[in-house]
Structure 1
Amino acid sequence: MNRQDINAVIFDMDGVLVDSEPIYFEIERYLFSHFNVKVSKEQHEAFVGTSIENMWDKLIKENNLKESKERVIKYHKKYVISHMESLPQLSLTKNARELLEDLKEKDIKIGLASSSPRQLINIILSKLDIKNYFEVIVSGDEVEKSKPHPEIFLKAAQLLGVESKKCVVIEDSANGIKAANNAGMKSIGFLNTHSGKQNLENADIIIREFPQKSLHLDI
């Protein structure tokens, strides 16, 4: 990826900017037990990157759950938001702030496209103190289709005013990488072992940690 070909970088949040996936795994295992839903480790990991709505839509059908989808999702969101609000602090991924600063200095537009609800995104970004870096934030609440559908990235690019082919996405999940590719964007796979077993082989680049400067990402 040549620098002149990239005008915007779109970040995923969970598992990329903050190592939150282990927290969600724990919360969701409780919720699966609460609603008496059986989910294997492999199936659970396959939901990484998708929205709460998408996950429960599939689980309710597969388990013939009598609870309504609306009630389950409302309970899930209330529980996870309450849990995240109660955490004393969250740690930003190593070198993430330095990379965000470098992109800003180079006048590369910065967006966030997360399948999480907007309220949860606001809580996490406030705890990390990085909300001001993002010109555009798109949540799972604001799109009809979840990753691996490209809608969330296409909307972010549109709001940034940048062509898809001039955007690069940083994602930790197979669903996210597929969504970026489906959007016609370049993709960087962020290999986070806490995000479960994720197939990132279709990413243009795979990294294990952020460099402090965008130059070292070849953008």
Structure 2
Amino acid sequence: MLKAVLFDMDGVIVDTEPLHRKAYHQMFNDVSIDVNEDLYASFTGQSTINICKRLVDHFNLNETPEYLVSLKREHYKIFFENGDLQLIDGVLERIKDYHANDVTLVVASSASMLGIKQIFERFDLNQYFSGKFSGADLEKSKPHPEIFIKAAEFTGFKKSECMVIEDSTNGIKAAHSAGIFCTGFKSKHSSGQDYSLANKVVSSFEEISYSKIVNIIS
């Protein structure tokens, strides 16, 4: 029986990808590197610090990963403050649905904790969620399962009573490796991702309303 839902944030709760893309590409320009689409797509679901470590290694940069992170975050801050952000269609209704049915909600995102808090304050989501986990604060990034293992432990429920909602290849791999039921959310905001390891694939939050999903989790 469903007792807890572990939400990814980017692409599931809110579509910040366009802002992140602009911030990353501005940072790429700052350090004069050419990141092709295949390489950029492989970053989806990973923390900023791990992405920047990969960039330093891949391009043999003299700059530190931490410096790249600072550049990217400064650009993102500007875009975030001036951008037009909206919640993903149907997600607020589903969050309220789960919360009303006493399901424990936790966000488990590769975004920084600052980024998570910015989104939660902007859209008044704190009232529904019991916990927040940032992959940037952990040793391992998705597709490593650490973030979902810790988030599930936080709820106090068995992994068999939890569900992850993810939209990225790396996030789905992480949930699968953690041994937690994973719903792959396939939308216009998450193209080019692999959903083959997801237990269920949906394109609308209506498909995973509490009444429809509560007894699938066992």
TM-score when normalising by structure 1: 0.92
Question: Between the two proteins, what is the percent identity of the paired residues?
Answer: 35
Query: Is the contact made by 2:148 and 2:174 (CA closer than 8 Å) also made in structure 1?
Result: yes
Number of residue pairs the alignment of both structures matches: 214
Query: Is the contact made by 1:112 and 1:134 (CA closer than 8 Å) also made in structure 2?
Result: yes
The corresponding residue for 2:18 is 22
Query: More deviation in 167-176 or 33-42?
Result: 33-42
The corresponding residue for 2:147 is 152
The corresponding residue for 1:72 is 68
TM-superposed CA distance for 1:33, in Å, is 1.8
Alignment of 1:181 with 2:176, yes or no, is yes
What amino acid sits opposite 1:106 in the alignment? N
Q: Distance in 1 between matches of 2:28 and 2:158?
A: 40
TM-superposed CA distance for 1:192, in Å, is 2.3
What amino acid sits opposite 1:116 in the alignment? A
Query: Is the contact made by 2:52 and 2:66 (CA closer than 8 Å) also made in structure 1?
Result: no
What amino acid sits opposite 1:127 in the alignment? R
Please point out which of 82, 86, 96 is paired with 2:82. 86
Gaps spanning 5+ residues in structure 1: where? none
What amino acid sits opposite 1:52 in the alignment? T
The corresponding residue for 2:105 is 110
Alignment of 1:135 with 2:133, yes or no, is no
TM-superposed CA distance for 1:21, in Å, is 1.3
Q: How does 1:30-45 map to 2 (within 5 A)?
A: 30-45=26-41
Query: Is the contact made by 1:99 and 1:213 (CA closer than 8 Å) also made in structure 2?
Result: yes
What amino acid sits opposite 2:183 in the alignment? I
Alignment of 1:125 with 2:120, yes or no, is yes
Deviations 1:114-137 (A, max 9, x none): 111111111111122212211010
TM-superposed CA distance for 1:79, in Å, is 2.3
RMSD: 1.6
Query: Is the contact made by 2:19 and 2:79 (CA closer than 8 Å) also made in structure 1?
Result: no
TM-superposed CA distance for 1:108, in Å, is 1.1
Q: Distance in 1 between matches of 2:18 and 2:74?
A: 18
Q: Distance in 2 between matches of 1:93 and 1:135?
A: 20
What amino acid sits opposite 2:210 in the alignment? S
Please point out which of 150, 156, 162 is paired with 2:157. 162
The corresponding residue for 1:207 is 202
Query: Is the contact made by 2:23 and 2:73 (CA closer than 8 Å) also made in structure 1?
Result: no
Query: More deviation in 130-139 or 169-178?
Result: 130-139
The corresponding residue for 1:60 is 56
Deviations 1:93-147 (A, max 9, x none): 1111111111112111111001111111111111222122110100123211100
Alignment of 1:49 with 2:35, yes or no, is no
Q: Distance in 1 between matches of 2:89 and 2:191?
A: 19
Deviations 1:145-168 (A, max 9, x none): 100001111111111112222211
Query: Is the contact made by 2:26 and 2:72 (CA closer than 8 Å) also made in structure 1?
Result: no
